[in-house]
Amino acid sequence: MTARVEQRVRHRRRVTGRRAVVAGAAALGITGAAIVTTTTLSTAGAASPWPTAEGSRAVPSTIKVSGTYDGGLKKFYGSGALGGDGQEEGQDPVFELADGATLKNVVIGTPAADGVHCLGSCTLRNVWWLDVGEDAASFKGKSANSVYTVYGGGARNASDKVLQFNGAGKLVVTKFQVEDFGKLVRSCGNCATQYRRTVIVNDVDITAPGKSIVGINQNYGDTAALRNVRVHGDSGKKIKTCTRFQGNDTGAEPKEIGSGPDGTYCRFTSADVSYQ
């Protein structure tokens, strides 16, 4: 094959790949400037350069979403009553999603208050947290059929939990990245009302420092499946993969009873988690 023919082949492959990425991004409702980030995600896994915000907006009171809210990759940050960025429980969120709502192409800056609340099934697509406040997102649906989808995006600087799973149903996290955090996903260990919860974490990048990828309540029948998880900067394997707790509904601190794959509650093998 001549050099000119090889060049044409490479160009054709790049064009075809780009068209596939754009089509895939459009299917997810990701357009414009965000496609650059999506291109990187598609070619290099979940660990990609963070997007540059397209302007910013102060949020003095919770934005309530039903249907689909496309933030255009603008940065939203709390002000006034939402101006807190501490770990106090009971803070209001920047966004509140009704059952079935979708939030996409949003950068949440600081102060972040309590991030995003999902009152039922919801989808978070290409949502980024620059500095997690109390939690990045909390999932609060009461139906066992609720499904919460987190696709793309990422979170930094979470002193404790990133994704707080308080409600019932299933949480699926795909192509997400997190760095400098306490727990990526935590099934509430001491909520007044408890449920059996299912967690799936697939194709994500975890960057140290961190404490635990997933925390679940064994006594309530929670399960967590990890697939294609890449851990960066943790050669000593200090970040726990899946931690099992004895949960309660009294508000007491839950007791840790084990960690790592067990085939029943923490459903994965060592091959599903790589260290880079």
Residue ranges per domain, the chain? 44-275
Predicted confidence at residue 6, as pLDDT, reads 41
Predicted confidence at residue 220, as pLDDT, reads 98
Mean pLDDT (the chain, rounded): 86
Pairing of strands 183-187, 161-165: parallel
Tell me the C-alpha distance between 148 and 165, whole Å: 10
Q: At 238, phi and psi to the nearest 5?
A: -80, -25
Q: pLDDT band for 86, please (50, 70, 90 cuts).
A: low
C-beta separation of 80 from 60 below 8 A: yes
C-beta separation of 146 from 127 below 8 A: no
- Report the phi/psi class of residue 126: left, alpha or beta, with left for phi > 0 and alpha for psi in -120 to 50: left
pLDDT at 65 over 70: yes
* CATH entry, 44-275, from 3.30.470.20, 2.160.20.10, 1.10.10.60, 3.30.450.40: 2.160.20.10
For 89-116, the pLDDT digits (tens) are 568 999 999 999 999 999 999 999 999 9
Tell me the C-alpha distance between 190 and 58, whole Å: 33
CA distances from 179 to 27, 182, 225 (A): 28, 9, 20
Order of strands across the sheet that contains 183-187: 63-65, 95-97, 116-118, 137-139, 161-165, 183-187, 212-217, 240-246, 255-259
